[in-house]
Structure 1
C-alpha cells in the first residue's frame, strides 16, 4: 500500500482518515522524500550543462529547497511549534481585522455626514447672527483705532461701561443682546475641547461598530459551523443506513451460500444408487406426495416417530413446513424442539428453539439415521438419534430438551391413514 501511494503520490481519503497523527506525519515525510528523490533523479538526468543552457535561454527560475540541519529539505508542519497559533485563533484574528476595517469605513462615512450637518448649521447660525447685528446694532463711534485690536473681553468691558438711558427697555434689551452675542463669540476659544470630545465620540463609535460587526461575523461563523455539523450528522445517518443495508445484504448472501453448501453436502452424502422397496429414494423428493408415500411405505415400517406403545412420539409433527415449525417454536422456551419430515431430502429435519432464533438440522434416513455432514454418528432408529442428542449437544452446542406440543394432528393423521 505504501509503495502504491508513493508511486501515485495520492492517498485515498478513507485510508487517510484511519491514520493517527504520527502515521500521517510519517507518510507526509515519506512522500516529501520521494518528491525530492524524483527531482534529484530528473536533475541528474538532464545534467548541469543542459540546465545552465536552458536557464540562459528561457530565464526560468530554479527551485531550491531550504535545507535543515540534517541537509534534508526543511519541512514545517503547522501547529507543531509552541508559538504557532491554532486555526481558531487565526480565524478569530481575521474576523476582528475585517470587522475593524468595515467599522472604519462606516465611521468615516458617518463622520462626513455629521460634518456636513454641522457645517450647514454653523453657516445658518452665522447668517442669523450677521443679520441680527446688522439690524439691531447702532453705529458706534470708535474712539481709537486701537479698539480694532481689542480682545473679546475688552470689548465686553467697553459695552458694559456705556451708560444706559433712563431704564429704556430697548437699551436694556439691546445691551443684553449684544452681551449674549459676544458671549457666544467667546465660545470659539473652546473649539479644541470640542474637537477632543468629537474625537472621543468617534473613537467610541468606532469601537462600538467594530464590536457589532465582529459579533455578526462570529454569529455567521457559528451558523456555518452549525449547518456543517447538521450536514455531517445527516451524512453519518445516511452512511449508517447504507452500512446497515450492506450488512443485511452480506448476511443474505452468506445465508444463500450456507444453504448452497448444505445442499451440496446433502447431495454428496446421499447414496444415489440405493433404493428401498421399489420407492426411488435417491436425490431430492420430487413432490410433497412422494414424501408422504415414502413415509407410509418405508418409515412407518421402521417405526420412525412411533414409540413402543404404538403411539406417535410427542416430538414428531409429521410433514409440516419450515415456517410452520418456526411459528410453533416462537413462543416456546429455549431448548424446545420438534421433528418433521423434510421435502429437501429423504429424511427429516430437527427444528430447535435457540436463544436468538430457530435452527434446523437435516437428518438423513438412508440407509440409517444420521445428521447431514461429514463424520456424523450413525443411529439405527430415529428415536435413537433423538435420545442421543438429549444428552450430547448438536453441532451448534445445543441439547434437545423439551418436545414442542402439537396444535393440530392433521399432518400426523395424513401419514398414518
Structure 2
C-alpha cells in the first residue's frame, strides 16, 4: 500500500482517518522525500538541455558554515545579540526623540519668528520752511517778515547741521555695536542650542514615560480582558459539564426505568406463586381489612401503620418510589398476585420483588422458607439477615410514603 501511495502521491481519506498520528507523520515524510527525489530527477534532466533563459536566470547563493551546510543565524542565541526588550526600548526611545524634536522645533519657531511691527521704520522728519509773505502787507511789514525769515533760516541751518552731526554720531555708534553684536550673536546661538538640547531631552523623557505608561495600561487592560475571557470560558465549561451531567443522569434514569419495566417478572428465587389468585383489587382490600390487618403486625398499638408499609400500590409505583432512594431501601405493599404481600427492594442493578405468603405463618413463597408469626417479625428479621444467600441484601432503610391515599383505603 505504501508503494502505491508513493506512486500516486495520494492517500484515500478513509484510510488516512484510520491511521494513528505517528504513522501519519512517517507517511508525510516519505511522501516529502519522494517529492524531493522527483524534483531532483527533473532538474537533472532539465540541466542537460540548453535553455535560452539560463543567461538571465537569477541565482541565489547561501553563506555556508564550517559543516558545509547553509549558515543560519537565530536571533537571540549569540551572546552579543540584543534581547527583544532592548530592541523595543531603543525603538521607543527613538520614536520619542523624533516627536520631541518636532515639538521643540515648533515651539522655537513660535518664539524666534520676528513680527512685522518690530521692523516698522519711523519716517525721517522733513525740515520745510514755509513762506507766509502776503502781497497785501505794507512796506514795514514786509521788512519785518524778511528779517524774521532770515532769522528762521539761521535756526533752520543750525537744526540741519545739528541733525547731520547727530546722524554721524549714530552711524559711528552703529559700527561699534555691529562689531560687539557679532560676539553676542554667537553666544546667544550657543545658549539657544543648549536650551534646545535640554528641552529636547526633557520632552523625550516625558514622551517616553507617557508611551511606557500607555503600554502598561494596554497590557493591564489586555490581562484584564484575558482574565474575563478565561472566567467566561470556565463558566461556560462548567455549565457545559453540568448540562452533560444532567443529560447523562437523564439517560441513566431512562435506561434504569426501561430496564425496570423490562424486568417485570417476579423474582422466583423463593419458588412459584400460589395458585389462589385474588379476583381483583377490591377483594384484596376487603381481605386485608377483615382478616389480616389485626394479625399482620403492620399497625402499632395506636393503630398507626409502620413507615415501611405502603398499602395496595402497583409494582411500577413501587419502583418509581425506590428509583431515587439509596441502595438498600425497601417498602412492603399488598400484592394482587397472591393472598399476601410483596417486598420491593432497591438493589444496585435493579429493583427486586419478593412475594410473601400470608398463611398460618408469614414466609417467602417457595419451599423450606423460614416462617414468622407476623409480617412485622419477618421485616425485623431481615434487617439483620440477608433476603437471599446469593445476594446478601438486607432491609436497611424504609422508603418514605409520598402520599397516604393508599393507606386511607385500608382504614
Q: Please classify the TM superposition score into its range, dividing by the shorter chain length.
A: 0.5 to 0.7
Partner of 1:49: 41
Q: Unaligned 5+ residue runs, structure 1?
A: 9-30, 154-181, 281-289, 371-376
Partner of 1:197: 195
Judged with a 3 Å threshold, the aligned counterparts in structure 2 of structure 1 residues 221 and 297 are, in CA distance, closer, same or farther, namely same
**1:340 partner SS:** strand
Within 5 A, what are the aligned runs for 1:227-246? 227-246=225-244
Q: Does 1:103 align with 2:96?
A: yes
Encode CA deviations 1:157-205: one digit per residue, 9 max, x unaligned: xxxxxxxxxxxxxxxxxxxxxxxxx6x9836423213202211110110
Within 5 A, what are the aligned runs for 1:345-360? 348-350=342-344
Partner of 1:5: 21
Q: Unaligned 5+ residue runs, structure 2?
A: 1-16, 126-162, 358-362
Judged with a 3 Å threshold, the aligned counterparts in structure 2 of structure 1 residues 78 and 251 are, in CA distance, closer, same or farther, namely farther
Within 5 A, what are the aligned runs for 1:62-73? none
Structure with higher Rg: it is 2
Residues in 2 aligned to 1:344 and 1:108: alpha-carbon distance in whole angstroms: 104
Within 5 A, what are the aligned runs for 1:247-262? 247-262=245-260
**2:265 partner SS:** helix
Give the number of aligned pairs: 328
Of 111, 115, 133, the match for 1:118: 111
* C-alpha RMSD over aligned residues: 6.2
Partner of 2:166: 138
Partner of 2:409: 414
**1:267 partner SS:** coil
Partner of 1:387: 380
Judged with a 3 Å threshold, the aligned counterparts in structure 2 of structure 1 residues 270 and 337 are, in CA distance, closer, same or farther, namely closer
**2:20 partner SS:** helix
Per the TM alignment, residue 250 of structure 1 is displaced from its structure 2 partner at its CA by 0.3
Per the TM alignment, residue 413 of structure 1 is displaced from its structure 2 partner at its CA by 5.6
Give the conservation status (yes or no) of the 8 Å contact 1:350–1:360: no
TM-score, structure 1 as length reference: 0.54
Per the TM alignment, residue 37 of structure 1 is displaced from its structure 2 partner at its CA by 4.0
**2:196 partner SS:** helix
Residues in 1 aligned to 2:18 and 2:92: alpha-carbon distance in whole angstroms: 46
Per the TM alignment, residue 102 of structure 1 is displaced from its structure 2 partner at its CA by 4.3
**2:187 partner SS:** helix
Within 5 A, what are the aligned runs for 1:212-361? 212-267=210-265, 269=267, 276-279=275-278, 290-291=280-281, 293-294=283-284, 306-307=296-297, 314=306, 315-319=308-312, 338-341=331-334, 348-350=342-344, 361=351
